[in-house]
Each structure stands twice: as structure tokens, then as C-alpha cells.
């Protein structure tokens, strides 16, 4: 019998952080939706595909799309780190570079191990030209084309 490694299921805090960002997006930009667990065609990622924790796009963007959508109209992707061995390589490196190479304007990483929010923006080539990290509790301005402000004090509730 062969041993298969199973990726851990995201925990409740992971889900609560995604829902917190979703609420912020809906309150500040109701014409947009944060689609949870959206599959995107991102050629630079391992399999040419990436499943983002959240994808911000105009409402209706993915109507009629299959499991793996073109990222052309995506304004922002959200990733929240998990507590597993693969999170460093996948969330902090591969997806960051893949999203930039796909031309996605903004990538927000909520890093639960470091208690930080990192905003990658201005994609150029296969990396972002601008990256800024903020500790939980700071006010984080998400740049255009997203244009929302996150008061990250609430994230302290999920730091264990």
C-alpha cells in the first residue's frame, strides 16, 4: 500500500480571515465580488493552474466560466497562509510570481506565521515591482485598481 500525502484542510481561522476580507471588499466596493477558492489559469505556477483563496473581480466576471478561468479581468488575488510544509514555497513564492507573470494587478498575502499583510502590486515580467508588508493592526491601503483600505486590527483575533 503506497503512502499518499494529504494536504491539510484549511482551519477555521483561515476561513474567517477570507470572510473578513470578503466583507471589507463588499462594503467598500459592492460592484465587485471576492470569489473564494477560484481556479485561475496561471501558466507560471506548477501545473499552469492556481486555486486562489480569493479572487476579486467585477460582479459577473466568472459567469459561464469553467473550473479554471482566464485571469484577464482579475483585479486582486488573496492568499492566506496555512500551517503546512508547502505554504512557504507555494503561498509566498510560486503563487506570488505566478500571479505577477499573469499580469494580476494586486496580490494580497495574509501571512499568519508572521502576523503580516503583504501587498504585491505593479506586476512586471515574472515579479511584482512593488511589495510592502504591514504588521497586523496597521491600516493597509490596497492600491488601484482595487482601491480599498483594510484596518487589520481585526486580524489580531486570529493570531495564535
DSSP state of 67: S
pLDDT greater than 80 at residue 4: no
Confidence of residue 90 (pLDDT cuts 50, 70, 90): low
pLDDT tens, residue by residue, 60-70: 999 999 999 99
Beta pairing, strands 76-80 & 49-58: antiparallel
Nearest to 71 by CA among 91, 51, 47, 90: 51
For 111-130, what is the mean pLDDT? 88
Q: What band does 126 get if pLDDT is binned at 50, 70 and 90?
A: confident
**Residues 37-56 pLDDT 10s:** 999 999 877 788 999 999 99
Give domain limits for the chain: 12-158
pTM of the model: 0.89
144 has pLDDT over 60: yes
Poorest-confidence range of 6-10, 54-58, 73-77, 100-104? 6-10
- Whether omega before 97 lies within 30 degrees of 0, making that bond cis, reads no
Q: Measure the CA angle with vertex 112, ends 69 and 141; round to 5°.
A: 70
* Residue with the larger pLDDT of the pair 20 and 11: 20
CATH label, 12-158, candidates 3.50.50.60, 3.40.50.300, 3.90.1570.10, 1.10.630.10: 3.90.1570.10
- Predicted pLDDT at 94: 83
Q: Which residues contact 127 (CB under 8 A, 6 or more apart)?
A: 96, 97, 100, 101
Amino acid at each position: 500500500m503506497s503512502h499518499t500525502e494529504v494536504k491539510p484542510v484549511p482551519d477555521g481561522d483561515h476561513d474567517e480571515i477570507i470572510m473578513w476580507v470578503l466583507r471589507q471588499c463588499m462594503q467598500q466596493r459592492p460592484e465587485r465580488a471576492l470569489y473564494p477558492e477560484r481556479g485561475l489559469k496561471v501558466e507560471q505556477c506548477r501545473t499552469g493552474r492556481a486555486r486562489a483563496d480569493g479572487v476579486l473581480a467585477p460582479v459577473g466576471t466568472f459567469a459561464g466560466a469553467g473550473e479554471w478561468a482566464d485571469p484577464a479581468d482579475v483585479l486582486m488575488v488573496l492568499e492566506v497562509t496555512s500551517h503546512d510544509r508547502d505554504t512557504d514555497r507555494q503561498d509566498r513564492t510560486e503563487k506570488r510570481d505566478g500571479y505577477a507573470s499573469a499580469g494580476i494587478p494586486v496580490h494580497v498575502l495574509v501571512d499568519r506565521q508572521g502576523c503580516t499583510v503583504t501587498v504585491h502590486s505593479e506586476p512586471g515580467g515574472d515579479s511584482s515591482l512593488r511589495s510592502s508588508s504591514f504588521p497586523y493592526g496597521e491600516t493597509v491601503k490596497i492600491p488601484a485598481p482595487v482601491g480599498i483600505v483594510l484596518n487589520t486590527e481585526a486580524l489580531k483575533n486570529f493570531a495564535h
